[in-house]
Chain A
Amino acid sequence: MTPPNFDLWVYLAASPLLWLTLTIGTFLAAQWVAKRSGYHPVVNPVLITIVVIVPVLRLTNTGYDTYFDGAQFIHFILGPATVAPAVPLYRSRQLVKAKALPIPASPAVGAPFAMLSATGIAILLGAAPAIVLALVPKSVTAGIAVGIAGQIGGEPALTAVLVIATGILGAVIVTPLMNALKITDYAARGFAAGLTSHGIGTARAFRVNSVAGTFAGLAMALNGLATAFLAPLIFGFFS
């Protein structure tokens, strides 16, 4: 006879409810820790949540598919969350108008640079083609990047992981880097964060300053657009 709490675990471990609740709860706790740290750049809520959940799945022998059955409800919100930056953009329309020149110029350079620098370094260091192709849209927000990867023959799931890693890296690095470079223009700082590190960089930028967040959201959309155009032109011959 199995003990009743074992039956309960068997039910919970396979139910979407447990993993959905755990994800939201861990993220809320991580946000609380980030706030307590004074939003220190290294105390990144996305990073903390992943670092907590991955070992929990390991220890409980839970497969990613089972986890994703619950987490997919959050994953789905990637789409509307990519549309939402239109609101802060509308609020800052005067400032955006004042930056009418750098706004198209930066992704025109930054988007190809993000792709070519990542793939160039990977090729030089002898990475497998699967890794190189998955790196192409690494700076683009997850929902858009997965589509681009599919078009050029990269593996979508691997791309998603590299996209999230790029997001966390940029979100952690951007504040100390921009401070070291003595850049005080928060529109420029935010734009770099959003272009390089999509939504995770945008989340970080909103924590620093609402102008930075607005420009990050705009850069996230423009980099999605630029990469969707350029990636098939530059890397399409692989597929």
Chain B
Amino acid sequence: MLFGLFILLACQLVGEIIARGSGLPIPGPVIGIVLLFALLALRGWRRGAASAETGPVAKSADGLLANLGLVFIPAGVGISQHYQLIFDNGSAPVAALIVSTVLTLIVTVAVFRFVSRLLPAKETQP
């Protein structure tokens, strides 16, 4: 558990160092994901995929992902400070959020399906 958490934090830390050090507009956690995937692939290659899929890092990540919503609550409670500014702008922010969210869901799923169909029929359906 502790080792798994350490690896997650270390991947994020190295990701932040690379992101800030390089000056590229790549977010640190995105580099962290790539690093963690590479570590898992390395472990899978050396000790078999099952070891990478069920090891301590996988357990810690599963624990975090099972409760993923929790980490957004402190920021979400911040609405108590900002609702005045949001409602001072009338319907604009609320309308923008709702309409844009619905349209983005539709556009993304449409592009994903459209490009999937461009591939030959070998496509694996879950």
Contact = CB atoms under 8 A, between A and B. Distances in A.
Interface string B83-126: 00110111111011111111111111101110110110011111
Contacts of B73: 23, 27, 46, 49-50, 53, 71, 74
A192 B112 CA distance: 8
B101 A81 contact: no
Given A87-B61, A105-B115, A188 B109 contact: yes
A178 B125 CA distance: 17
Centre residue among A82, A117, A203 by max chain B CB count within 10 A: A82
Contact of B113 (A87, A183, A197): A183
Nearest to A116: B100
Given A157-B82, A173-B102, A98 B123 contact: yes
B80 A185 contact: no
A78 B97 contact: no
B14 to A, nearest CB: 10
B112 A102 contact: yes
Interface of A: 23-24, 27, 31, 44-46, 49-50, 53-54, 57-58, 64, 67-68, 71-72, 74-75, 77-91, 94-95, 98-99, 101-102, 105-107, 109-110, 113-114, 117-119, 121-122, 125-128, 130-131, 135, 138-139, 141-144, 147, 151, 157-158, 160-170, 173-174, 177-178, 181, 183, 185-189, 191-193, 195-197, 199-200, 202-203, 206, 209, 211, 213, 217, 219, 221, 224-225, 228-229, 232
A95 B124 contact: yes
B48 interface: no
Contact of A162 (B29, B88, B97): B97
A231 to B, nearest CB: 8
Interface in B19-62: 25-30, 32-34, 36-37, 40-41, 44, 52-53, 57-58, 60-62
Given A80-B8, A225-B30, A161 B76 contact: yes
Nearest to B28: A79
B79 interface: yes
A113 B58 CA distance: 33
A67 B111 CA distance: 42
B46 to A, nearest CB: 14
Contacts of B88: 128
In which size bucket is the chain B interface? 35 or more
B109 A191 contact: yes
A118 B112 contact: no
B75 A83 contact: no
Contact of A200 (B12, B33, B67, B72): B72
A185 B80 CA distance: 38
Nearest to B78: A161
B33 A206 contact: no
B11 A83 contact: yes
A125 B92 contact: yes
Nearest to B122: A98
Interface string B1-16: 0000100110110010
A125 B100 CA distance: 13
B117 to A, nearest CB: 9
Given A87-B36, A211-B126, A127 B97 contact: no
The 4 A-B residue pairs with the shortest CB-CB distance, nearest first, are A71-B74, A125-B92, A86-B36, A127-B92
Given A183-B109, A185-B126, A135 B93 contact: yes
